[in-house]
Structures are given as C-alpha cells and as structure tokens.
Structure 1
Amino acid sequence: MSYILNIETATKNCSIAIAKDGKTLLCKEMAEEGYSHAEKLHVFISEIIKELGLSFKDLSAIAVSQGPGSYTGLRIGVSAAKGLCFALDIPLIAIDTLAVLASQAQVSDGFIVPMLDARRMEVYSAIFHENLEKIREVKAEVLTAESFSEYKDKLYFIGDCAEKCKTVLTKENHIFLEDIIYPSAKEMGALSFEKYQKKDTVDVAYFEPYYLKDFIITASKKVV
C-alpha cells in the first residue's frame, strides 16, 4: 500500500492531492490571480493529511510537478516537496507538468497539445497522442498561423492561454477544450505511482525545477 502526496504549483493553481496506489483519494486546490501558493500550500497539505486520517509517516513518497511553468510557483512547490522528503526520509518523484495537464483531456482521436502561457505570443507546449504517449518534447515557442501545420489530424489544445492562441490557431483541425485550464494534482496519482513502482526518483539534494527559459530579473532604472 503506497500513499503519495502530489504537489502541483506550476501555474496559478495551488493544488495538493493524496493518492493511494495510483488512485486519488482527496484533492485540495485554489487558483487565484495573485498566486496564493506561499499562503495555501502547507495549509492544504496539513488539511488533506488530517481529513484522510493519515499522518506524514504514512507517506511513501512525494511527487512534485517539475515544470515548465511559473518560476515562483515551481520554487515554492519544489522547496516544500524537498523539505518533506528530507524530514521523512522518503523519495522525491518529478512529474512533467504538461503531462499532468494532458491527462485531463479525454479524446479518442488526434493529438493533445497542452500549452501554458509564457507571455506575449509565446507558450510552453508539448504534443501527446490520444493515449498520452508524448510524441514531441516540451519547448517554448512563439505561436504563428503556421504553428503545428505539419499535423493534419485533430489537435486538441488545452491550457491557460486559449484566448490568445485562438487568434492565430484557426485551422479546421484546431479544437480548443476551454474547460481544461490548469494542471491539477488530482491527475498526478497514476503518473507518480507508475514512477514510484519503477523507482524512477530524483536526487532530493540536487533536483531543480524545469524552468525551460532562464529567469530574468530586470534591474530597476536609476533616477538621474
């Protein structure tokens, strides 16, 4: 019997779930414009443990969404996951954020394209077959009318940037599933359990989130 705590903070959605042998038992999440992760994450973790009648010692592993996504969100989630793994002496599992997002799409044909907003017309995206097999790796790209033109089958776009993407992705095979906006920890259970069974874990000390692009701090202008 394996209880895994799943943490998803790569976007505006602060999401926590506990899964038993790959099946999600309970999920707590909140998506806010102001990124409430720092305030809500540990509260959600404590609440979910208590509501399930578990203790931290019952956890077999911690799984965290590895990115791409928000720099701040990823740092908060990964820091919390590392701290728990150190304290409990349990393994850390890293899960592809776009795979978590893609897991929400239930389609029977074509391809799933999870996308996360990277400002302006740039997105983080990957491409998955309907059976969730990844057929194109994650990359940052600037969208144009010719993006994904090599794919003639149906493309199901999901994520938090539908409004801006619809202005350029207008071909007949482009379908937007607008109800699927953010990745959620409730979709991580099966993914993290599969990795747990394979002992596919990461080094707690050296693991870093997958930012994809360097985080750039713009220096404030000096007043002359």
Structure 2
Amino acid sequence: MPTILQIETATQVCSAAVSVNGQTVALKELAANNIHASSLTIFIQEAMDAAGLAFADLDAVAVSKGPGSYTGLRIGVSTAKGLCFALDKPLIGIDTLKMMAAGFLAEQPDYQGLICPMIDARRMEVFTALFDSSLQEAEPVLARIIDEESYRVLLETQNIAFIGDGAVKCADVIQHQNAAFHLCNYNSAAGISGLANEAFLAGAFEDVAYFEPFYLKDFVVTAPKKR
C-alpha cells in the first residue's frame, strides 16, 4: 500500500495531499495569488499531520510537472526534489492536464464524453489537451489560442467537458450544445492520487537529479511599462 506525498503548484492553487493505496487521506490547499513560496511547505506539513504520518513513512513524492505557471512549477518541483533527496525516496512526475482530467472523472465517474482541461496562459491562449473517459489522450498537450471555431468540428459529434481556470475565460467564446463548462477547482493534489499509485506500482520514477518541469513554452521576461 504505497503512501505518497503529492504536490500541485501549476496554477494559482497551492495544494498538498497524502494518498494511501491510491486514495487521498489528507489534503491542504488554497487558491490565491503568489502564495506558493510561503505556503507550500506549511501545507505539506499540515497534510502530513492530518494523515498522522511522519515523513519517514512515505514511499514516494509525486509532483504535478506541468504545463502551467513557470514560477509555480519551479517551486513545486524544487520542493519535491528536495524532499526526495533528503528522505531518499523516489520521485513521480504527473502530467498536470491528465491530473485535472482524473480529478474530474473522480467526481463524475459515469461521464462518457471527452474532457478538455485548460490552464490559463494569458489573453485567449490556454495550455490544453483532450482525454477520453478512460484517461487516454485524444489530443496531445499544446498551447492553443481559443476563438469561436475552436473544437467546433469535434463538438458536432462529441460531448466535451471543459475544465480548469482556462475554461473560465472560454465559456463565452465556445458556444455549442455539446460543450459543458465545469468551473470547479481541478488543480488539486488530490487528483494525483490514482495516477501516482499506478506510477509507483509500475516503477515509473523520475531521475531526481535531472528532472525538470514541463513548461511547454519558454519563459519570456518582459520589461515593465513606464509610468
């Protein structure tokens, strides 16, 4: 029965969870701007305390690896790697968009359409992918600019559930009877539980020394506007 600490920091949600045998037993999270650096280690300790576990009881650490916020991912992955080095535990990297789809299916296990997790990437761009109800990838991860024609062909024959903070801004643009927008928080470390358990049992571990987040797009530094 693997016991796994889980970290999600790809968006403004700062989230830590503990799972045992693929089931979430403790969760601490908050959606707020710029709290990851100051709150993540506190949330991790609170989740461990709520689970009644010591760090030595862990079998692995899992982290949401992206795509998402550059800064958020750096904080989450560096924290996970630090814990793995200190505890001599294996590291599991989980695709953030697949994690979001898994969280949606955990709430709606009878859903049979496509799932489109979206992470806000500014303006009308999102980081997104498509998954079926078995969490198989129907469209690979990409950065997409959303307009009125986005997903129109697919929506003629498929129900699509749009989820995530990127879906919020797209609800008024993608209008179709087969499009449903679920605006709850699916950037939660609880969504990692089943995927991390499967990865642990399969021995799918990352190289702690060389593992890096999946940013999808290069980080661009822009000059501040003159006052």
Classify the TM-score, shorter chain. over 0.9
Work out the CA distance in 1 between the residues paired with 2:90 and 2:144: 33
Q: CA deviation at 1:135?
A: 1.2
Aligned residue for 1:121?
124
Q: What corresponds to 1:93 in structure 2?
A: 92
1:130-153 CA-partner distances (Å, limit 9, x unpaired): 222221111001011111123121
Contact map agreement 1:11 1:182 (CA 8 A) in 2:
no
Alignment-mate amino acid for residue 202 of structure 1: E
Aligned to 2:199: 195
Q: Which runs of 4+ in 1 moved over 4 A?
A: 220-223
Q: Percent identity, aligned pairs only?
A: 50
AA aligned to 1:83 is G
SS of structure 2 residue aligned to 1:150: helix
Higher helix share: 2
Determine which of 152, 161, 164 is the counterpart of 1:156: 161
Whether 1:8 aligns to 2:13 is no
- In structure 1, the residue matched to 2:180 is 175
Instruction: Output one character per residue of 1:26-71: Cα deviation in whole Å (capped at 9) or x when no partner.
Output: 1000111x22111111111112222322111111100000001111
Alignment RMSD, CA only?
1.6
Counterpart-to-counterpart distance in 2, 1:2 and 1:59 = 8
| Deviations 1:74-132, CA, capped at 9 Å, x for gaps | 00000000000001111100001011111122252221110010001100111011222
Q: For the structure 1 residues 83 and 167, does the alpha-carbon distance in structure 2 shift closer, same or farther, using more than 3 Å as the test? A: same
SS in 1 for 2:47: helix
Q: How does 1:1-224 map to 2 (within 5 A)?
A: 1-32=1-32, 34-105=33-104, 106=108, 107-151=110-154, 152-178=157-183, 180-219=184-223
Is residue 157–residue 177 contact of structure 1 (8 Å, CA) maintained in 2? yes
- Paired residue type of 2:205: T
Does structure 1 conserve the Cα–Cα contact (< 8 Å) formed by 2:26 and 2:48?
no
TM-score of the superposed pair, with normalisation by structure 1: 0.93
Where 2:185 maps in the other structure, the secondary structure is: coil
Structure 1, unmatched stretches of 5+, are none
- Indicate if the aligned counterparts of 1:116 and 1:125 stay in contact, CA closer than 8 A: yes
The answer to whether the 8 Å contact 1:92/1:202 transfers is yes
1:222, CA displacement in angstroms?
A: 8.9
**SS of equivalent to 1:144:** coil
In the alignment, is the contact (CA less than 8 A) between 1:111 and 1:156 conserved in 2?
yes
Alignment check: 8 A CA contact 1:13 1:182 kept:
no
Whole-Å separation in 1 of the counterparts to 2:114 and 2:24: 25
TM-score (norm 2): 0.92
CA contact (8 A) 2:15 2:188 kept: yes
Q: Do the aligned residues in 2 keep the contact of 1:93 with 1:201 (CA within 8 Å)?
A: yes
